[in-house]
Structure 1
């Protein structure tokens, strides 16, 4: 068998991109009152969301481009559903710089052509099969490390780890490569604040994945790399640079958001023991509980678009070339769409109308896998951690961030098995 390539670590091997998260995403306890104040000014407000939240600016964006924030559900959904006017080219500056020729930076017809090839692998019926073969073994192995202890930090010991373990397993990477892969993948996003680190991480993954693709072309298996290398529609295959970009982006687009979504759901359930008990007794509520967590405090609060022409939303003129901050966190808490939006309720009837996975042609291609992973993870926790509750001896969990949300710790106790 052909030897797998080796990943090269950062030159400064001590650099920890996980500690730099607050530079990019903020350390806000609750950004929603500020978002509500913005919405009171109108559904479309001039300004840069990052700047409004007191964050470092995205250094990759054109400094002379005007910014507009969309704050109502209707305005956000309109932008996401009108890609000819509100283009994904906004992501060329940051995601494109980090990941290369990503489908996230494309519009039709190019995006349409490549997305339909990706979708052949990510259809719900195929993704469901990964639940038993890929997700469950990762979840069970992680839980074995603490189910006998009677207490755990569910973030550092579980939710931070399991989605990335799923990705390593899907890619069939050697276990020893996991740490460096995770580190480089996260470090890529630092290009918005620490350009040289982001460029180095991107370059090292860029040299790794073509070699991995060549190895899987020569010796295909049933892993995700092999499946995507062989996927085609009408004889068209994914170009190598698009494949490399996808794998560079995968750990952030799939692993990071799933880690955050699972952490938010567990936090809110533990903060609402009555709803945790409802779910424990009626697992049919779990799909809607997942949607409500994604709505209530979705992992990504803001999405970006680029105005291709002079346009107008709700009476506000937006010039061509403007950067549009589509504030999904505002749309998901819009009282015109979600009654009593600041209340967490796993029985909310329209919870699945959230925009946390976007909408329109760029709706998240991995949304089905994220739901499968979250379902398997929550069921395992409910099954294996009886009498689960917050640890009264530890500080209560606090969701953090203005761009992406997560608790940094989630200390719990339970009856050991």
Structure 2
């Protein structure tokens, strides 16, 4: 077996040794995130980024403590969501949202379906929860089938590139089936999905900024995405099937007492794609590495499937798919961990750091299948803005690892691994070569 080697030497950034070395956002940073979190916890649990606040003359602050982030995400009035503030600006302009420069389908859809917290909850409960929220169980049989179909493609080889041949296509196929997206256009779904997340992969600074050329390129992809989805919506109106887009063409949204427009449905599809293709991919790839590196865990979950849920929660806690986002702003002067934070400051919520906060978790770096209240991590955030696809991702991960346990006796690292990650704010392993022995 080829051992896993530190990839620090492959990164264009040096591994931080002191607080002044910590940089979570520059090229190469993902290879050193967890070393940086140890430094932040010990020396700067509230870390100032000068001059990069939401309002002029303010700063941004990285929050890395579990108690601080949990406090912020539960109080939307005190710590408003950046997207909601930007939506208010769009609505205040007085023009139809989609006619305004730079306003895409998702923002235009938000303007009518969820312009405030009350309608946010209604939109979620009525339109997405039945498919990816509490109602996601309706997809379980399909998800299990997809997992085994993918394993069938490589089970006889004894080796697999785990990311491109399993972790990545599984949530793509699942989301396509849920939406009613043709599987023959799966590559197109990935292309559009890459367009939606472009700022979070290639954006710069804590708030994922693209330059003008990159914005134009992204907008071109998103317009293509919108046109394709419009045609798909029209087809579902003519010939409805048992899928989410068909459901959205027929359902009456109670707050507005009417059915949805194509533009509104388009925005919902956008939201499903931006959040539904990658979280599970990143989780599965990191969990595979944890199973190789943590002695006894694979044998334990294979022989006692009741421990599978605990493994999934611990795996996500230890290697959070989305490491952090600048999603909140202070509406008044605040104090976090004794640090003064002015009104109008950006709050960069570093969920991954909070999930290994030694003040919240006993032995935070250990993978413990008996950890109490293991779901209190912040992988999916918490409170009213918790990720709408939480239920779906957990079902996908559970189905994936149960299928792998059914088909594989043991696995190890193959040759050629560099263990490098994509840029941006998500912990995305680029490739993962594995060797395995199949169960017969």
Same fold by TM (over 0.5)? yes
- Seen in structure 2, the aligned counterparts of structure 1 residues 24 and 243 have a Cα distance that, compared at 3 Å, is farther
Q: 1:146 aligns with which of 142, 150, 154?
A: 154
Matching residue of 1:115: 124
Q: 2:192 aligns with which of 177, 184, 188?
A: 184
| Cα distance between partner residues in 2 of 1:96 and 1:328 | 28
Cα separation, 1, equivalents of 2:406 and 2:176: 25
CA 1:116–1:239 in structure 2 vs 1: closer, same or farther (change >3 Å)? farther
Partner of 2:244: 224
Can you list the C-alpha shifts for 1:33-90, whole angstroms capped at 9, x where unaligned? 2122223344422217xx9xxxxx99xx888653111111111011100101212224
In structure 2, relative to structure 1, the CA distance for the partners of 1:387 and 1:309 (3 Å cut) is: closer
Q: Which residue of 1 aligns with 2:369?
A: 346
1:73 aligns to what?
A: 66
Partner-residue secondary structure (3-state), 2:273:
helix
- Secondary structure of the residue that 1:179 maps to in structure 2? helix
Show the counterpart of 1:248. 270
Bigger mean CA deviation after superposition, 164-173 or 301-310: 301-310
Equivalent of 2:42 in 35, 40, 48: 40
Q: 2: distance between equivalents of 1:101 and 1:24?
A: 32
Output aligned runs, 1:262-273, within 5 Å.
262-273=284-295
Q: Kindly tell me: are residues 106 and 200 of structure 1, through their superposed partners in 2, closer, same or farther at Cα, counting changes over 3 Å?
A: same
Distance in 2 between residues matched to 1:125 and 1:46, nearest whole Å: 38
Contact 2:326–2:347 under 8 Å retained in 1:
yes
Q: Which residue of 2 aligns with 1:325?
A: 348
The CA distance in 2 between the partners of 1:224 and 1:178, in whole Å, is 17
Normalising by structure 1, report the TM-score.
0.82
Cα gap change, 1:101 to 1:67, in 2 (>3 Å) = farther
Q: Indicate how the Cα distance of structure 1 residues 227 and 310 shifts in structure 2: closer, same or farther if over 3 A, else same.
A: same
Question: Structure 2: how far apart are the matches of 1:353 and 1:25?
Answer: 31
Aligned residue number for residue 13 of structure 1:
none
SS at match of 2:357: coil
Equivalent residue, structure 1, for 2:175? 167
The farther-off stretch of 262-271 and 401-410 is 401-410
Cα distance change on mapping 1:72 and 1:236 into 2, 3 Å: farther
Unaligned runs of at least 5 residues, structure 1: 1-21, 52-56
2:33 to 28, 31, 34: 31
Moved more, 352-361 or 99-108: 99-108
Structure 2 runs not aligned, ≥5 long: 1-23, 88-101, 200-208
Distance 1:395 1:24 in 2: 23
Is the CA contact 2:131–2:178 (under 8 Å) kept in the aligned structure 1?
no
The reply on whether 1:357 has 2:380 as its aligned counterpart is yes
- Distance of 2:307 and 2:37 partners within structure 1: 29
Is the contact between residue 355 and residue 377 of structure 2 (CA under 8 Å) also seen in structure 1?
Answer: yes
RMSD of aligned C-alpha atoms?
Answer: 3.1
SS at match of 1:372: helix
Report what 2:402 is aligned to. 379
How many equivalent pairs are there?
385
**Which residue number in structure 2 is paired with residue 214 of structure 1?**
234
Counterpart selection for 2:328 from 306, 320, 331: 306
1: CA distance between counterparts of 2:82 and 2:191?
27
